[in-house]
Amino acid sequence: MVKAKEKQYFGTDGIRGRVGSHPITPDFMLKLGWAAGKVFANNDKGRSKILIGKDTRISGYMFEAALEAGLTSAGVDINLLGPMPTPAVAYLTRTFHAQAGIVISASHNPYDDNGIKFFAGDGTKLPDEVEFAIEEYLGKDITTVDSQFIGKASRINDAGGRYIEYCKSTIPSEFKLAGLKIVVDCAHGSTYNIASNVLRELGASVTTIGASPNGLNINENCGSTSPEQLVKEVLAEKADLGIAFDGDGDRVVMVDHLGNVVDGDEIIYVIARDRRRRNVGFGGVAGTLMSNLGLQLGLEALDIPFTRVNVGDRYVMAELKSRKWQLGGESSGHIICLDVASTGDGIVAALQVLYAMVSCGCSLHELTGKMSKFPQTMINVRMTQKQDLSKNASVQDAIKAVEATLGKKGRVLLRPSGTEPVVRVMVEGEDESMVAKLAQQLAASVEEAVS
């Protein structure tokens, strides 16, 4: 059997790593810009145009300049968006009829990481063949087009306003949030000047935290990966709910008025249940191997089809398109609503939940109470180099021991992260204390094996 060709740089969500370490360096970004420019300049539709947006981490300035130099040297024009949520770049790429969109972001990672995400002209992730084509050019020497064909760069000053209007258009025009008190945590990221404005323009009373980016504080003890401060603010403000985004705005988690964190699985359930209630067709729901068993059982009780795919929004997206379904996502809060968006969008997903609340007159706590989550513990075990743990006898024996203890009322999953040098160890079952103990036990076995 012929082994499938592997990509050298592109992972499940673009190219990502530590700033200053290859390939997250200015010289590589210059080459990447040129390579992408060469690929997207090969068309018969006149001069090509690519949009560039970024999150708020300090290295974004450096990489924006490097990409700009590379793209223009290949003869491609650029529209600069400045700090802008990842899904906003996808939307604006479509509306400006650009050949591609680029986001400079490491999503939920700390400030000293960064990365590059690409969108095709239709606002979806690049297909494999385009990523392979870009990598092929990365192996060649940079050549600059004749001076008369060098690209130009300009800035789109109303990008934020355009995206705000788009977000509001994803729900019925008569929808209002008047009377709702909401706390929003922007993770000091790219939703800092967008998310609260969307909610305020819809009539909500909004308190905003995590909206003072300084280039170094993105995702730091805030946002969707650390909602503890949001919980405190919701309780202190006696708010109806809280909404937390990650650094680039494609993930969302929520907090109900009692301070309970509502993750991506529960958000998907609320949206799916509301669409079924309103008799809105969406096919079914695509989750991942990490999706809580409670989500699966809750959807089955509503007679909503559910399927699992590998972790990563690109796999969820592929499954949705192949089945012609509209709704899917991950427990981390990456929610895809294909009937209103071309990619995962934290603000759009939050609006879908708010619409469900208002239209049925229920609190977020009441809506999530319809689904019973199974206790789930996940531990990240850092590894210095990739290892195939499926061939490690001691790890496999440890997995079998945990599975035997859980029986048919639980799951075990070991998965190397596509964005970080860690192995994710997940155990799920009915008894919370047992699940936590078994996860620690399994993580210890994995840590011993990878060290």
Which entry of 105, 107, 332, 342 is annotated as an active-site residue? 107
Query: 230 and 123 in contact (C-beta within 8 Å)?
Result: no
Query: 171 and 46 in contact (C-beta within 8 Å)?
Result: no
Residue 268 neighbours by CB under 8 Å, 6+ apart: 285, 287, 295, 327, 328, 329, 335
Question: Residue 29 and residue 322: Cα distance in Å, rounded?
Answer: 33
Classify each residue of 161-173 as buried b or exposed e, where b means 16 or more C-beta atoms within 10 Å of its C-beta: eebbebbbebbee
Question: Residue 375 and residue 350: Cα distance in Å, rounded?
Answer: 24
Structure tokens at 240: 């109806």
What is 187-214 written as a DSSP string? TTTTTTTTHHHHHHHTT-EEEEES----
In 219-291, at which residue ranges do the beta strands (DSSP E only) sit? 241-245, 252-256, 261-262, 285-288
Helix (H) / strand (E) element for 173: namely none
SS3 label, residue 44: coil
Question: Residue 234 and residue 413: Cα distance in Å, rounded?
Answer: 33
Catalytic-residue membership of 196: no
- CA dihedral defined by 171, 175, 181, 186, rounded to 10 degrees? 20
Question: Residue 69 and residue 34: Cα distance in Å, rounded?
Answer: 8
Q: Could you give phi then psi for residue 433, rounded to 5 degrees?
A: -65, -40
Query: 73 and 145 in contact (C-beta within 8 Å)?
Result: yes
Q: Which residues are catalytic?
A: 107
